[in-house]
Every structure is written in structure tokens, then in C-alpha cells.
Structure 1
Amino acid sequence: MIDIVLLGGSNSIKKNGLRKALSDECLKCYALGATSSLQNLYELVRHHEDIKKSSLIISESNVNDFHIHNILNISLSDIEINIKRLYRELSTTGCRVVVILLPLQTPKFKNAQKINSMHKHWINYYGLDYLDVDSYFECNELSSFFYFNNLDHPLDRHMYEIGKRLISLFENLSIKRNNICEEEFHIHSDFSLEKFENKNSIFYEKVNVIDNPVEVSVGKDKRVIGIHSWSYHNSKIKISSSEFCYIRSANTENQFHDISADFIITDSFYIEKSNDIDSEKSIRVLKSNGDSSISPFGLVSLFSVSSSKNKVCEINSVSVNVSDCLSFIVEDMNHIKQYMSYKRANRPLYQFFIKNKSNALISLIYKFKDKILK
């Protein structure tokens, strides 16, 4: 059996797709929906012991980088910094690594090709192997199949087959042993606060309860670049000192939030719940109604970065494009066309569900929407 670590977003979590294909191996899945390259890096750092024991790392994040740029207005420059960080760190793991570049063919959003070009540049720069599904779709005139109005994710059967084919290619993939040390990453999760355990069928986390102001310290000269949260209720966290103030909302999902605001921790700071205006947007968060009875914030950890004292950059890996294994997708055109027709026909009903999810009855029906729409 192959020890595999899977990093990514919802495309890596769906139970009948990529994750299912890899589950016959010894799989550690650290994917989280609606998260970017930075979350992949966060999990790479957080689970470094598992990473060291793994034989293969599979990573996908270009889709969610695309989404946070268009939905949260994260700049292209900030996205590229985190793409570079992720691929740099992946290239030093001593493991086989494959990056999957999924289709970005959504006509309503912008800069899809710029974001994919960033991914390809740093993949090649650090010598990672990759599977370019996006280019394959474009070259074989399948782009219209993946318009966001028709399909939210690639077909489960395609992602499953991709997983199986990557396993079959295992021996042909090269081990990545670049020697690079430019930055150091830190995860801060122990704040000596009340904690609770939050879990569901996929995730389990120990969560800090952030309520009244508490003074904490994580060391000097660290820039906070991410927040991992999982709250019981919609809530906000305030991180502040005499030099900065940062406020961010979270919903009741297990979430990772990229921080693009530039604040450096030079000493101790305060964390507390808040109901003030957000410093940056968050995905799927209800607008505050100004109610003073705000809920405590569920903080799993803060993610920070600092400059390395002993900088090294030795790159000896070479990229290999393994996209030849995607020929099965073109051979599946009849099924693709049927599914396109199905999605188009049912799109209005999906949109109605999403628009009215705050209604208790609609929310209940939404949970069973896939059975309803069969």
C-alpha cells in the first residue's frame, strides 16, 4: 500500500471522487472546502510528521485560488505569494508530489488564465510533477462543459479515475528533495483558554473559545497569514494591539481564512469576540445585524510566517507533465453531454434552494436535494 497525503478543497473531499479512489491505499486527507493554496500549506506544516512518513502527496488548489480572488477580492499578488510558498515547501518534502490543475472555465469570473499561469510557473520552477486537467479540457474543446452555470465540480467518476491513474503512475513519479529555506511557518493553537471538541463525519478539531479579551503572545516578528476557525454560531474574532486591529467573520463550518492584511506581531496582542466591521471578507458568512449579544468565536489556530535566519535555495527537481493519463475523459463524451443537460435543467431549482436556505423547511429539503433531483 502507498502512504498518500491529499491536500485540497471540496474536490478532494467529495466521497465518491478522488478521495474514494485513494481510500484503498493508506490515505491521510487534509483537504477542506472553499480554501486556497495557503490552507494546503497550513496542513503541510500542521501535519509535517505524517508528511515525512508519506510516499505520495497529491495537491489541488487552483480552483479555490480562483474563487477567493473573485469572491473575496484577494489580490493576484497575494495569491501568487502563497502559491509560491506552497510549491516551494512541497518540493522539499522528500516525497513524490503531483499537483492537479482543475478546470477554470467559468465565464462570469476573471483572471482564470493568470491564476493558472502562476500555478504552472511555480510548479515548473520548483520541479513538481503535475496533471493539467484545465489545459486538457481546453485542447479537447470540453471547456463549455465546465462553465460554472452547468457544473460546480468535475464529475465524481472523472475524479475517481484520475485518482486511480495517479496511483498507477506512482513508480514513474520522482522524489522531490530540493533544499530550500526562505521562510519559517508557525501554528499557534495553545492559548490556555477554554476548549471544546468539534467534529463531524470528516473533521475533528480542538477549538479555543474566544470570548472576552485575552492577552496572548506567539513570539516576535511574525506575520499572521491565516485563521483556522470552527464556531458553533456565526461569529467574529478581533486580533489587536496598540499597532494593529484585525476583525474577521466566520460561519459554523470548519473554515480556513486567508489574511492578506499586513500586520506584524512584535509583542503580545489581544484576541476577543467582536461585532465590529470586518477587515476582510469571508465566504458564506451572514451579515451582522448589529446585535450586541454576539457569540464566542471558535478558533482552532492562527497561522503565521517569519523570515528564516539561515536562508538556503538549492533546486534540483524537474517537472513532469503526466496529463497523458486523461484520455478517458474524451472517451466519456456521451456521459458528459447527458450530465450537462441534467445540470442545465435543474439549475433553477438549485438556485432556489441556495437563495432560500435560511428558511427552515427549505434548508431541510436542501439536505436531500440530490435525491430529489435524481
Structure 2
Amino acid sequence: MNKSEVINELINILWLSANNRLSLPSPSRKVKGREFITNTYENAFYNRVLGFKGELHYSQRTCGVNNIINGGWFVNQEWCDGTADFTKDTVYFTVTSSRSEKYQLLYSLISKALPGVELYLIEYSVDAGLSKQSFTIYSFRNKQFCLIPHNKFFEQFKEKVNSSKLSSMKTKISEIPSELKNRAYEALLIDEVDNEIYLDVLYDRYFFDIVLSGSYKKGRPTDIDHVQLNADKKQLMFIDVKEKYPYKNKVGINEDHLPFFIQMESAFRNISDWKFDNRYLVRLTNGADDPSFRGWYHQSISHFYEADSAGGNLGQNGTGAMETKMLSIEEMRRVV
């Protein structure tokens, strides 16, 4: 698939995921610059699209950097009300095109810090197209990756009854409004980003949104965009990448994401000699109407714990505004 084909496939997956709910969408509130959005499903879809921009830019920026690797998904095996605990009854997996030796060290560290988490690596091949057969699944046990049949991974989740997205992809759902689709394509098309990076995103979302979420019940998920792993200095960092524009000279992080990072800090603190951090990395632009690039900024997520709160935009679920913790641009560190 060329870049255009990959982007269009990704758009279809994100649209299907945003529309696969039992309830009908509600009218969306009017936001400047988003007059083409009419309901909450469209808003959820477009938020997901925009969420990839920073990640795509950063993936290209760090392409070939030895100590930066793809992140992965922490997924609770069952849904729970309240704050999810990602240190137990949880599956962690990375979707990647290459089962490199870097993952051996990373998974060894995760297994020490989080013994209650089942670890898997999902390797994809483009030769099989977009299908369940595109993926080879490895379990990580006793410091080794072991090939396993698909059912050994999926049996940890309860199968949905008559609600598979694998079949619903072939049924008729509402088409993406043409202007919304064009806006999504324009947002995702970044000339300098290699097609291999788009393929990583496409197969990651296909596995999570279609193969797993479409056919199986699961608990709350959260993902890590990238991992920085420096064996010589014994440094491990989970990186959350976002493209943001400042609001009153501040940038924010969703407050409901913070418990996960607090849990990770507590767990990895127990690994002797290793330094661990959660890092928030922002590709800063001028504003909603001016996407001009201002620079990369970063800060430890721990700095947001006691920061001021503010209301945010509608989140990717499209159901309500997310409370955010805010730091000023001056409190962030510029990447030089």
C-alpha cells in the first residue's frame, strides 16, 4: 500500500471505531474551526485523527534513533468502575513489524516491575494485507519470546456476542461526510513522514480497534506512544506525545490519564539501579487557526500532578469535556 492508501484505510478504521456504539450520536457543540462537525461521533473521530499528528512527526524525527522504540497498550482484562489498576489483571502488548532485541530488555524490565501483567509482542506482516492473519503473537515468559497460537492471547478476554467489527466492516454504516473525510486526510498527510511509519500506526490501530476491540470485551485501555530505553545509563522513559497549541500560554494533559502514570512510577521505582520517568512531549503550534510549528517541549508528567485544573475540549469518546491539568509554556523544557 502506498501512503495515500494507508491513510484512507486508517481513516476507515477510526470512523468505524467512532461509530460502533449502541446509542445514537448527539448534536455536537459548535467549535470555531470545526463547523463541519455535526455530532458527537464525528467529533470523536476527528479528535482521534488529530491525536496522531504529534506522534507521526515524532516517529519521523526519531526514526533510526537506537534508544527510541514503539510503545504499546496496557489493557485491563475486565471493565471496572472508578480508577483502573494497570498493575494486575492486565495485558501489555506492542504491535511492531520487527521483533528486535530492544524489546527483550524492555519486556524484562516490565516483567520485574509489573509481575501481575501478561506480556505479548504482536508482529505484523503486510504480505497478508489487513486481516487477523497479518499478525504473529509471541508471549514473553522466562525472559524469552515464545510463539503462541492466537487463541492463547484472545482467551484472556470475553468474546462479544453478535457484535464483531470484523463482520460489521462489511455491513452498511453511515458514510464519512465528504468534508470531514477530506479534513481528516489533510490532517494525516504529512509529506516528510515515511510510509513505514504510517504502516506501524495502521496495523497497531487495526489490531486494537478491529481484531481485539471489535470482537472481545475488555477493560479500560491506555497506551504509551514511545519508549526511550538507554541500557548503558540504565534509564527507562515512557513518552506520551501530543500536538498542542497553547491556551492562555499553557498546555494541558487529561486528568483522568494521570493515575496510570502514578501507578507506573510506583511500580518501576522498585527496579534497582534503573531511573524511570513518564515524559509528556508536546509538538507546539501557534493555534487552532495557525498550525505553524513553534517547537518541541517536554516535561516529566509528575509536574502535572499538582498543577492547576481547567476544563478541556471534548475527548476522543465524544461524550464530554475532559478536565485537564495545565502547565505554562515556561514550565516546560524546550527540546534543542
TM > 0.5 fold call: no
Q: TM-score, normalised by structure 1?
A: 0.27
Identify the structure with bigger relative contact order (alpha carbons < 8 Å, sequence gap 6+).
Answer: 2
User: Which structure has the larger Rg over C-alpha atoms?
Assistant: 1
